[in-house]
Each structure stands twice: as C-alpha cells, then as structure tokens.
Chains A and B, each alone.
Chain A
C-alpha cells in the first residue's frame, strides 16, 4: 500500500520558478540584523509587573510551610502566589501517559531541584528577586531517586504516590520474527550505551507577558511560543478556562529546538496577573533557571542492543532495550522521544525484523522535554555503532557494510519493520558521493600512516534516515492523544496587488517565512518584496501547529500552494467576467491572468484584486469578491498505530551520510575533528541556503552532544549544571567547517517534492563523531560507550585498558 496524493493542487503554475529552489536572501533578516525585532523581553505593557520564581533546592522534599510575610512587606511587591492558590484554581498539567504531571507550582511536595515553589510579581525584576530571598520555606527532605536504575530498584521511593511505581511505561514491541533471525545469525554483535542528558539551550530563554482579564475571565499571553495552538489547549486545561478564552500571541523567538518550555512560566505569570488585579505580568526565565529547570533537558538513556549478522555482512535483526529517565514526570512530553525512533528504527537498512524493549521511568531529575530530533540521535548512535562493530567482527570496511545493507532506490516506497513508510531515496548514491568528496581511500591511507607513527586517527562513515513531516497519531502508542498537525495559511491580495500571508507560528530561525514568500512570488509572478508574511494570534490565525517534527517547510508550502490555487481559481472567474470568456479560457502567467489563445488579452493581478474589492458591482452578485483564500494542509495517507505501534507516521524520509576524520590524543583524551564531509538528500531544496543552515546547525549541536554537553547530576540527584561555564556549547573553535554535497530525490508525496530537513543533522552527527573516535581508539582496544566523549572520559578508558 502506498500513499495516494493529489499533487495537482500543489504545483507551481510555472516551469521556471525565479525563487523556489534558489538561494534567495531571507525576508526575515533586515529586521533581525537591525535589532528591531520584537522579542518578548523587548515588549513593555502599561502597568506591567515582573515575576520571579522561588525554586526548590532539594531533589525531593515535602513542603511543610511557606512564610511570605516579609516578602509581602517589601516595597514594590504586588502579588504573591503559592501552592495553595494553585491548588484552588488549577489542575495538574496534562501528560502522556496520563497522571504523571504536577501543578505549575509545587503543591505539597517538590520533585526536582528547581521546581517552582512560589512566585512574586513586583514593579521590577530586581525587587522581585529580592523578595524571593525573604520568603522562608520549611522543607522535609525526602529520599531521592537520583537516576533511572534507582527508579526501578525494589525499594525505590515513589515520585507520584498515586502511581504505585516509578515506571511510566513498559512494553516490548516485536516487529517480525526476531528470535529466529538471531538464532540463525552467523554473528551477534552486542553493545551497551549510556547517553547522558543534553538539551536545546536556544540563545533566548523562555519569556512571556500574561494578562488575566478579570472582566470576562479571559487570558492573553504574549511570548516566545513555538506551538501556540498547543499552548492554548494546555493552558485551558491547567487554568480551567474555556479554550476560546485563552489567546496566545506568539512573538519571534531566539531559537527553540523544541526545548523552550513555557507551560509553567505561563501559568504562573497568568495567575500572578489574576492576583494583581489583571495587571500584565512579565516572566523572563533566566539562564540559570533554564539550565536547572527549563524545558531544556532531553534524552537520559541506558541502552543494551544487539544486531544479528550473516557471514556476508547482511544484517537481519535488531534488538534494542532502552531504560529511559524522563525526570520528574511527563510534563514535557518526553515520552514522545522514546517513541519517535519507531519512525526510522532500522535506519537506512533492509533489516527484516526488530524488537524494542522499552522502560520509561520517573526520577528526581528535571523533567525532560523535546529537543531537536526528539529521540533518534541516541538510537542512531546505538545502531550505527553496532554496524561498525559488525564490520569490525567480519573484517568488512565500515562504508562497505552499510552499502551492502541499504534499502535500494527501486524498493521505495519501503515499509520498515516498525511500520513507517519511507517515501523515496538513493542511499548508495549518497554514500558514493560522500566517499568521493572525502577521498575515502586517501583518508584510510592517511590513517594507516598515522598509526605507523603512533598517532590515532579515526574515520566515521555513518548513514541515517531523518523522518520528516510528523503526524501526532503515531504517538498514541506512547499514550499521547493526537491533537492533529494542520498547517494553515491565509493568503490575501489587497487592492493594490500586494500580498499578505498569515500563518499561526512566529519566527524562530528556520526561514520558513522566506519559503512562503518564495512560493507566493513564483505562483503569481511577483517580486518577493510584494509578499509579506505575518503571524496572527491564536484566535485569529488559520488552524496551525507550527514548527516541530521537521514539517513546516513542507506543510507551509502545501498550505500556501493550496491557498494560491484557490485564489487563482477566483481570479480566473473574475477575469472571465471582465474579459467576457470562460474561466477555462484563462491562465495565470507572468503576474497576470490572460487568455490562453490570445495572451495579449490579460488583466493584472492588482486589477483583478482591485475590481473584487472596490468594484464588485461589476461582478455577478453570487461571485466571491475576496481576493484571498485560506488553505489547511495535512500530511496525506497517515495511519494510526496498530497494537505493535506500527503506522505510517512520517511522510518523508530524508537521508544523509557523514564522513568524519578525527584524531584522538591518547595522552590527554582530546579529540580533534580534522575533516567533516556531508552529503544529504532531502528532496527538492526549496532554499538551499536554508537547508545548509539547518544541516550545519545540526552538526554543531551534534558535536556538542558527542564531545561537550552534559547535564551532570550527583549521585544524590543534585544538578551540577547551572551556568554556561558548566554546560558547554560548542563555539566557532569547536564546530568543524564542513564540506557539503547534495543528492536530490524529490519526494513523491509532498508539495514540490521537498522532505523534512530540520533535524537530520543532529540525528547523525553524534553517531558519526563517536564512530570516528572509536575507529581511532581501535588499536588501543577501547571503545566509547558513554556520551559525551570528553577528554577525561576517553583518557580513563585508555588508562583502564592499560592496567
């Protein structure tokens, strides 16, 4: 069964687009380089107060009492919010699975260091922070669950007493006859891994201004929201408000990558506004708060995995056992991140059957949230390291074992054992190009020469698949109720022929507004500067979901093309009246509607729009005089999961191969990246510069995860990371300058053939770098099995092997 799709709705009416597919400048940029973009902390409203939050210093503690007397007396303090208020007014946050959520402020007990305990609104932030220091909280410290193994120990303390266990989710997925394949295998390769917590850390933290309208009991929240409609539903549920009484105004934000948090900060500032008589309350999460407790931590995992391999290098079966630490509850929808690997469980390979043994637990670490990629980066590290181990055991080159196992170009659409359908690709070609660009044979020779000199060079050749354009339905298998992923665009001409595209999501960096302008300009034969793209508030925007799951480039293209198609139909009908012919006699070309047979008979788009808006008396009374249209695009052909979680979840499957050369200094454990080559295939490249920006940005985050970044916790569950001196994101010095190449296999399922491309690079880079390091370390008989591969960790491995 393959996906049917009516693409005729989603085509450009031109063979030679001027903008789509070109490296055009971004329409977002002039304002951004001028410093005039309205990020949320640049906004001041009349009467606005500033919130500060007092946070729990213990991993697990009962709140015995809170004394706010002194704080209330500090001049400038206007409102104080505690768990008692919250208990009266709110509900615990909705989670997946259900029942693993907390209130926005700790009620009765706190479950992680940094959990909000009380909050204050004052006339400025300095005073609000002063006031927090005057609050006295008495805690009864409870035994903590510091990590995942402790969570499943027999006598483990409970985080959520109503659950009788710290296990949120436990199940085994079986896809095909795995056991017989392992029994018949010539080789079985096994590995264990520890992936330590990393996280998004956008340069702007979360921020919002909430205003509770006491007259009609409605709420307006301005802020750095990635998914406004989703926030509306969440706030409605947690604050007991009808969903049409919550209005979200998304501001441009300084990056997001999924990890922008926001629900608690929004609820707290909203309730402070309610207590402050409806004055607007600004809450700007600071970096220490973000690092401790913001929505910025992800992927805290323990893996055991095995690969069944035949003597000729054919990989037949994969088993992955995962123990996943969600932290203190499921409020961040981190459970999705353990389910997402189903969309590309077996990577680019023809692996016949697979098994996923999943245990998801709660601990007294900060709750985990989405982070770019949403789960596959650790999974791909596991799979790709196993591929290298198999190659080594069989004496096959690491590039060759991948080539032998790829899904072949003629096999698409291809359904993998875990159920997703890959749309298209040419994996052997991507590999071949990457090896050629890297001059792979020369690299291997260089490695050999270096080894002879006692130096440790390593090469990683890694291939992955990036599922793109996600569908919520897939996550019912992790307990998530689907809320849909519509993406709508409203395209309106004004009477002078200028165009405004209205969408429901704000700028956050990927350049999608530019893509919308490219598409509209090419569709109607306009210059790009005739097109403006704006974000409407949640109550005025077309149905939307916004960025997430590598989907907006594709989804927005579909929405805009659909709207343009509807407008073109209207223009033809109006044109037919004015030119006294039939609509079918007319075509849209060169910025005008003209007669197919007599192209000199034409009407400009401004004339048509102007007639519709200003001279509708010239038109028949039943003719729609609106030179605009709204279209909502959703991915076609997605299915809901069966009892084994199998479904068509992601519409596109992009593919990449990275070739990395590293040198490891065995005396210091320091890794240096010497060469980095990337070839990717994400179908049609709507704006190649945008694609390359996504690719390189993902490399940076992947290098960070592989070498530098970790949220460190002590054995008692205390976080040791609270500043950027502890959480080390790569700088210009640490990120490799990469050579990039492209193979283009357009998707048959998407408008214009583009595939999701926002996450592929972080899916693959950690695996590529770690595989290269392990290749370097091979003569020393050691292997990195824990991230990040920090100098001290590598040196320890070498030392332990040497004694």
Chain B
C-alpha cells in the first residue's frame, strides 16, 4: 500500500502556488493541492488518487491564523483543526463550530489536518460543510484573476466537488457572528466515535416570545453534499415551541431527502430515519441553548 509516483512542489508564496497551478494546468498535468493531507494521503497510499503532481501549501505560514474582524471570525485555511478546536475565541464566539470540530476524526488527525482542507475535500459525510452552511460562512478564494468570495451555500457543488477551479486556492474562511441569543445544535450518529457520520444535522435558531425564529437546519452524510432542509425549517418557523412539532419537522426534512446514500454501514431508509430523529433532537437542543 504505497503511493504511485508523483512530482512534488512546495512553493514559498501564494502567488507562486497559483502560478504553478496555472503552469501545470497548461501542461495538462493532473495536479492536486496538498494541505494537511489527512484525506489525500490514504487515497494516495491506496492508489485511489493518482495525481501526477502535488502542490504543497505547507510554506504558506501566513494562512495560519484565527482572528476577529469586527463581528466576523476569519480563519486561515492552513490553520489546523486542533488550533480551531483549542481556540478560546472559537469556543466563545462560535460554539457550533467548536462542537463540529471535536467530531472531526481524532485528535491526531486534527493536529495535522487543515481547517480549509475539509472544505475543499467536500466529503458529504464530513462535519465542516454542514457547519459552514448552517453558520453561513463565506470562503475566500485566490486564483489567477485575484480574489473572490463564495458563500458556503454555493461552494459545495456535489460529492467531493466544489466551486474551486483547479488553479484556485482556498485561503480563508469567514464565520459571521450569530445574532445574540441564537441557539444551536450539532449532532451526528456514527458507527464509532470519530468515524464519518452515517447522518448528522446542524441547527441554529432564535426563540422570541416562545416562538421559533430564523431556523436553519442542515443535514449531512445523507446526500451528495451537506444540504439545508427548508421543508423542516418551514414546519417550525414562526411556530410556538412544541416537541411534537420538532418531530414533524424531522419527518418533513427526512421525507424531502431525494436519495440518501446507502453503504455497508447504513441503508438509505435508515439514514432518512436518522435525519428525522436528529432534526427533532437538534431543534430541542437548540431551543434549550437559546437565550429565550
């Protein structure tokens, strides 16, 4: 189980990276960007991924930061997941992101894995795409034509596929502040602690005068991308809090899933059931956490 041959580059600057990616593309060389490598390395060793060239971002130290910019948290793409996990700023300002981070793999993976890598990897069973959509994150991308920003909702196209062009690099993830009093929940069910989820949900909402406001419900592990469940949101939006209603929302969300994935660990029907259950539980937990 050894990787097939490839060329390796570790440019010193972001512009060098972009220029190199352009050159490789012009030369018709299949290149992959390497950040933490915690998803890519197993694929290389299993020879499932066989890029001709790897472009390593490890020298881009200036993409390693967590900082406040007004109400927004700006996180450099090369920041490690454990740095995000350990950040008091993240814990205080974005507890949902903190909770989601703790569910990504294991500590040894988070010590190496980059924050941005999970966004570009776009594994539909991973936690960050769901957290990104739930928290309405914005992604900063740099390419030959300069910088652009993409809403998380538009970034994840389908299974392992993003809006990123082969010559572009994800540089920063921006997490806007949640309105005061927002309740949240991040739940998943995996075969084992640390495994990819069979299904999971991220929920945010506010409670005003006993009524649910601005619910945002995102499911993951059940389709080609993490996806919002507007059918579930509509059931509770503007309604008085009621556990029967949460269950109804779960069923509405589950019923709206087009074709949940099916594998050795979970059938499509079972995944649908998990979404129904987790939406209901997530709503209840988010309500409990909200400052009503």
Q: A residues engaging B (CB < 8 A)?
A: 125-126, 129-130, 133, 286-289, 667-670, 708, 710, 712, 720-721, 723, 725-726, 728, 730-731, 733-734, 790-792, 795-796, 799
B277 CB contact (under 8 Å) in A286, A287, A668: A668
With A667-B277, A792-B265 known as contacts, the answer to whether A130 contacts B189 (CB < 8 A) is no
Task: State the CA gap A667–B193 with chains docked (Å).
Answer: 19
Asked whether B2 lies within 8 Å of A731 as measured between CB atoms, the reply is no
**In chain B, what residue has the closest Cβ to A730?**
B192
B8 shortest CB reach to chain A, Å: 14
A794 shortest CB reach to chain B, Å: 10
With A125-B2, A288-B46, A668-B273 known as contacts, the answer to whether A725 contacts B189 (CB < 8 A) is no
A546 shortest CB reach to chain B, Å: 29
Task: State the CA gap A130–B42 with chains docked (Å).
Answer: 17
Asked whether B192 lies within 8 Å of A733 as measured between CB atoms, the reply is yes
Q: For chain B residues 230-268, which have a beta carbon within 8 Å of chain A? A: 264-267
Asked whether B46 lies within 8 Å of A792 as measured between CB atoms, the reply is no
Task: State the CA gap A760–B271 with chains docked (Å).
Answer: 37
Q: Which residues of A are found within 8 Å of B273, using beta-carbon distances?
A: 667-668, 795, 799
Sample 20 A-B pairs with CB under 8 A, ordered by A number: A129-B1, A130-B5, A133-B4, A133-B47, A287-B1, A288-B1, A667-B277, A668-B273, A668-B274, A670-B189, A708-B192, A723-B42, A723-B46, A726-B264, A728-B191, A731-B192, A731-B194, A791-B266, A792-B198, A796-B267
Q: Which residues of A are found within 8 Å of B42, using beta-carbon distances?
A: 723
B279 shortest CB reach to chain A, Å: 12
Q: Does B147 contact A (CB under 8 A)?
A: no
Q: Which residues of A are found within 8 Å of B195, using beta-carbon distances?
A: 725, 728
Task: State the CA gap A288–B47 with chains docked (Å).
Answer: 12
Q: Which residues of B are found within 8 Å of A731, using beta-carbon distances?
A: 192-194
Q: Does B270 contact A (CB under 8 A)?
A: yes
Q: Which residues of B are found within 8 Å of A289, using beta-carbon distances?
A: 1
**In chain A, what residue has the closest Cβ to B42?**
A723
B265 CB contact (under 8 Å) in A126, A286, A670, A790: A790
With A667-B277, A733-B192 known as contacts, the answer to whether A286 contacts B270 (CB < 8 A) is no
A713 shortest CB reach to chain B, Å: 10
Q: Which residues of B are found within 8 Å of A129, using beta-carbon distances?
A: 1-2, 4, 47
Task: State the CA gap A208–B1 with chains docked (Å).
Answer: 16
Q: Which residues of B are found within 8 Å of A670, using beta-carbon distances?
A: 189
**In chain B, what residue has the closest Cβ to A52?**
B2
A61 shortest CB reach to chain B, Å: 21
Q: Which 6 A-B pairs have CB atoms at the shortest separation, nearest pair first?
A: A733-B193, A286-B1, A792-B270, A126-B2, A712-B264, A667-B277
B249 shortest CB reach to chain A, Å: 15
Task: State the CA gap A133–B5 with chains docked (Å).
Answer: 12
Q: Which residues of A are found within 8 Å of B198, using beta-carbon distances?
A: 791-792
Chain A interface helix/strand/loop/mixed:
loop
A734 CB contact (under 8 Å) in B5, B192, B277: B192
Q: Does B196 contact A (CB under 8 A)?
A: yes
**In chain A, what residue has the closest Cβ to B281?**
A667
A560 shortest CB reach to chain B, Å: 41
A555 shortest CB reach to chain B, Å: 37
B194 shortest CB reach to chain A, Å: 7
Q: B residues engaging A (CB < 8 A)?
A: 1-5, 42, 46-47, 189, 191-196, 198, 264-267, 269-270, 273-274, 277
Asked whether A721 lies within 8 Å of B264 as measured between CB atoms, the reply is yes
B191 CB contact (under 8 Å) in A125, A286, A721, A790: A790
Task: State the CA gap A799–B276 with chains docked (Å).
Answer: 14
Task: State the CA gap A129–B5 with chains docked (Å).
Answer: 11
Task: State the CA gap A557–B269 with chains docked (Å).
Answer: 56
Task: State the CA gap A669–B273 with chains docked (Å).
Answer: 10
Q: Which residues of B are found within 8 Å of A721, using beta-carbon distances?
A: 264
Q: Which residues of B are found within 8 Å of A723, using beta-carbon distances?
A: 42, 46
Task: State the CA gap A191–B84 with chains docked (Å).
Answer: 52
Q: Which residues of A are found within 8 Å of B266, using beta-carbon distances?
A: 791-792
Q: Which residues of B are found within 8 Å of A792, using beta-carbon distances?
A: 198, 265-267, 270
Task: State the CA gap A289–B1 with chains docked (Å).
Answer: 9
Asked whether B192 lies within 8 Å of A728 as measured between CB atoms, the reply is yes
**In chain B, what residue has the closest Cβ to A794?**
B270
Q: Which residues of B are found within 8 Å of A130, using beta-carbon distances?
A: 4-5
Task: State the CA gap A726–B191 with chains docked (Å).
Answer: 10
Known pairs A791-B189, A792-B265 / 9 extra A-B pairs, C-beta < 8 Å: A126-B3, A129-B47, A288-B46, A668-B273, A723-B42, A726-B264, A728-B191, A792-B266, A795-B270
Q: Which residues of B are found within 8 Å of A796, using beta-carbon distances?
A: 267, 269-270
B189 CB contact (under 8 Å) in A287, A668, A712, A799: A668
**In chain A, what residue has the closest Cβ to B263?**
A720
Among the interface residues B3, B46, B189, B191, which one has the most CB atoms of the partner chain A within 10 A?
Answer: B191
Q: Which residues of A are found within 8 Å of B194, using beta-carbon distances?
A: 731, 733
Task: State the CA gap A708–B266 with chains docked (Å).
Answer: 12
Q: Which residues of A are found within 8 Å of B196, using beta-carbon distances?
A: 725
A156 shortest CB reach to chain B, Å: 26
Task: State the CA gap A670–B199 with chains docked (Å).
Answer: 13
**In chain A, what residue has the closest Cβ to B271?**
A792
Asked whether A708 lies within 8 Å of B277 as measured between CB atoms, the reply is no
Q: Which residues of A are found within 8 Å of B264, using beta-carbon distances?
A: 710, 712, 720-721, 726
Q: Which residues of B are found within 8 Å of A720, using beta-carbon distances?
A: 264
Task: State the CA gap A289–B2 with chains docked (Å).
Answer: 12
Q: Which residues of B are found within 8 Å of A730, using beta-carbon distances?
A: 192
Q: Which residues of B are found within 8 Å of A133, using beta-carbon distances?
A: 4, 47
Q: Which residues of A are found within 8 Å of B277, using beta-carbon distances?
A: 667-668
Task: State the CA gap A286–B191 with chains docked (Å).
Answer: 24
**In chain B, what residue has the closest Cβ to A127?**
B2
Task: State the CA gap A734–B5 with chains docked (Å).
Answer: 38
Task: State the CA gap A731–B245 with chains docked (Å).
Answer: 37
**In chain B, what residue has the closest Cβ to A129?**
B2
Q: Which residues of A are found within 8 Å of B192, using beta-carbon distances?
A: 708, 728, 730-731, 733-734
Task: State the CA gap A723–B48 with chains docked (Å).
Answer: 12
Q: Which residues of B are found within 8 Å of A668, using beta-carbon distances?
A: 189, 273-274, 277
Q: Which residues of A are found within 8 Å of B1, using beta-carbon distances?
A: 129, 286-289
A730 shortest CB reach to chain B, Å: 7
Q: Which residues of A are found within 8 Å of B3, using beta-carbon distances?
A: 126
Task: State the CA gap A668–B266 with chains docked (Å).
Answer: 11
Task: State the CA gap A669–B3 with chains docked (Å).
Answer: 39
Task: State the CA gap A721–B273 with chains docked (Å).
Answer: 25
A199 shortest CB reach to chain B, Å: 15
Q: Which residues of B are found within 8 Å of A795, using beta-carbon distances?
A: 270, 273
Task: State the CA gap A730–B193 with chains docked (Å).
Answer: 9
Among the interface residues A286, A668, A710, A731, which one has the most CB atoms of the partner chain B within 10 A?
Answer: A668
Asked whether A791 lies within 8 Å of B193 as measured between CB atoms, the reply is no
Task: State the CA gap A708–B190 with chains docked (Å).
Answer: 11
**In chain B, what residue has the closest Cβ to A726?**
B264
Task: State the CA gap A725–B191 with chains docked (Å).
Answer: 10
Q: Which residues of B are found within 8 Å of A734, using beta-carbon distances?
A: 192-193
Among the interface residues A130, A726, A730, A792, which one has the most CB atoms of the partner chain B within 10 A?
Answer: A792
A776 shortest CB reach to chain B, Å: 18
Q: Which residues of A are found within 8 Å of B189, using beta-carbon distances?
A: 668, 670, 791
A595 shortest CB reach to chain B, Å: 63
Q: Which residues of B are found within 8 Å of A125, using beta-carbon distances?
A: 2
Q: Which residues of A are found within 8 Å of B46, using beta-carbon distances?
A: 288, 723
Among the interface residues A287, A667, A669, A796, which one has the most CB atoms of the partner chain B within 10 A?
Answer: A667
B288 shortest CB reach to chain A, Å: 18
Among the interface residues A288, A710, A795, which one has the most CB atoms of the partner chain B within 10 A?
Answer: A795
Q: Which residues of B are found within 8 Å of A799, using beta-carbon distances?
A: 269, 273
B193 shortest CB reach to chain A, Å: 4
Task: State the CA gap A126–B2 with chains docked (Å).
Answer: 6
**In chain B, what residue has the closest Cβ to A793?**
B270
Task: State the CA gap A791–B277 with chains docked (Å).
Answer: 13
Q: Which residues of B are found within 8 Å of A126, using beta-carbon distances?
A: 2-3
Q: Which residues of B are found within 8 Å of A287, using beta-carbon distances?
A: 1
Task: State the CA gap A267–B270 with chains docked (Å).
Answer: 45
**In chain A, what residue has the closest Cβ to B273?**
A795
A723 shortest CB reach to chain B, Å: 7
**In chain B, what residue has the closest Cβ to A287?**
B1
